[in-house]
Amino acid sequence: MDFGIFDHLDQTGQAGSDYYEDRLKLIERYDEIGIYAYHVAEHHATPLGMAPSPSVFLAAVAQRTRRLRFGPLVYCVPMYHPVRLLEEICMLDQLSGGRFELGVGRGISPIELAYYDLDYDEGPAKYREALEIILRGIRSERLTYDGEFFQVDDMPMRLTTVQKPHPPLWYGIHNPASAGWPGGNGVNIVSNAPAARVREVTDAYREARADARLPGPEPKIGMTRYMILAGSREAAMEMGRRAYPVWRRSFMALWDEHGKEPIGVHYPEKFDGVVESGQAVAGTPDQVGEELQRQIETAGNNYMVCRFAFGDLTLAESLNSVELFNDRLKGELKAAA
């Protein structure tokens, strides 16, 4: 089992330059301890996402790391002209020597899409068309496309990717009914659902993959969890009870401002609730390891995605969790998988 990182880059109250520098220092440590990949979310006009242009932040990640793979989870594809996004993808894969991971999606928030004058209901069709252009363009010397939303006429493709035929694709998933496309096309997935729900996703994914008879090793089937490790469960829970409500206020900010409920997801108001659902784990390395092993056995995932930085956790607090995870937990979980 490999281990990854998911990051909303949500506001902590720090000044912008200090905030980005602290997060890059944390990412450097992920690189040093052998984390497989760093995945960053894309959000707009909300304290939930301080990387509204993931490519800009990931260009810095490319230069501050040497082994760590990285990418968006996900690019909100309808917000881009696909040719522009295609060129950014090629640049990031070249800048990193072929370490880019391409997460794609339609965008979860109709509020954020509306700020870009985009129709939420058009999102799925526009997303599929744009993704087709991106993948076709990476593989082509010249690009022509005539679609409902986009037209490209014999455009020279001066950039390409290191990875062939294209960087690995990623998709976020909560509903097992959505597992058919990624499972049937060898696309890596990540889910943040409770473990029993993740099992429904992993079963549906593997069934679709078997039906498609895809060759090669199984893609990464990920589950993400908030994680706080400390010398005692009490200390870990105290940090979580302070930091998680800060993250949740950022998550709810735009929804609350517009008097709407989030689509397809629900997070408990208190950290104890998200620990009870299993979507967060907190305690000593032994306690966290025992809980994660139980959840992995239930969920059937082969990739564990950690959230060590969220809310107002300080760099020192997040680094402490990372060090405890690396020294006392990562090897045991990898061996047990």
Annotate 50-79 with DSSP letters as a single string. S-SSHHHHHHHHHHH-SS-EEEES-EEGGG
Q: What is the mean pLDDT of residues 231-252?
A: 97
Does residue 188 fall inside a structural domain?
yes
């070249």: which residue's tokens?
Answer: 94
61 backbone dihedrals φ, ψ, rounded to 5°? -60, -40
Torsion sign (Cα): 49, 34, 313, 260: positive
Please, which pLDDT band fits residue 318 given cuts at 50, 70 and 90? Answer: very high
Q: Which residues, in sequence order, are CB contacts of 319 under 8 Å at separation 6+?
A: 26, 29
Does residue 320 fall inside a structural domain?
yes
Please, which pLDDT band fits residue 260 given cuts at 50, 70 and 90? Answer: very high
Distance CA 70, CA 99 (A): 6
Cβ neighbour number for residue 23 with a 10 Å cutoff:
24
pLDDT on residue 337: 63
Is the predicted pLDDT of residue 334 greater than 90, yes or no?
no
Does residue 329 fall inside a structural domain?
yes
pLDDT on residue 56: 98
Is the predicted pLDDT of residue 335 greater than 80, yes or no?
no
Distance CA 237, CA 243 (A): 10
Does residue 319 fall inside a structural domain?
yes
Tally of structural domains, the chain = 1
Does residue 118 fall inside a structural domain?
no
Is the predicted pLDDT of residue 15 greater than 90, yes or no?
no
Cβ neighbour number for residue 217 with a 10 Å cutoff:
8
Is the predicted pLDDT of residue 264 greater than 90, yes or no?
no
Q: Are 85 and 53 in contact (CB under 8 A)?
A: no
Does residue 303 fall inside a structural domain?
yes
Does residue 104 fall inside a structural domain?
no
Q: Are 234 and 314 in contact (CB under 8 A)?
A: no
H or E, element range at 302: none
Q: Tell the burial category of 13 from Cβ atoms under 10 Å away from its Cβ (0-12, 13-18, 19+).
A: exposed
Is the predicted pLDDT of residue 329 greater than 90, yes or no?
no
Is the predicted pLDDT of residue 164 greater than 70, yes or no?
yes
Please, which pLDDT band fits residue 239 given cuts at 50, 70 and 90? Answer: very high
Is the predicted pLDDT of residue 299 greater than 90, yes or no?
yes
pTM, entire model = 0.96
The share of the chain scoring above pLDDT 70, in percent, equals: 99
51-64 tens-digit pLDDT: 999 999 999 999 99
265-291 tens-digit pLDDT: 889 999 999 999 999 999 999 999 999
pLDDT on residue 208: 97
Is the predicted pLDDT of residue 236 greater than 70, yes or no?
yes
CATH code for the domain of 262: 3.20.20.30
Of the listed ranges 15-24, 228-237, 305-314, the one predicted with least confidence: 15-24
DSSP string, 125-183: HHHHHHHHHHHHHHH-SEEEEE-SS-EEEEEE-----SSSS-SPEEEE---GGG-HHHH
Does residue 160 fall inside a structural domain?
no
pLDDT on residue 42: 97
pLDDT on residue 336: 64
Full residue range of the structural domain in which residue 6 is found: 2-73+169-336
Which is nearest to 10 in space by CA: 242, 268, 225, 307?
307
Distance CA 257, CA 324 (A): 38
Is the predicted pLDDT of residue 125 greater than 80, yes or no?
yes
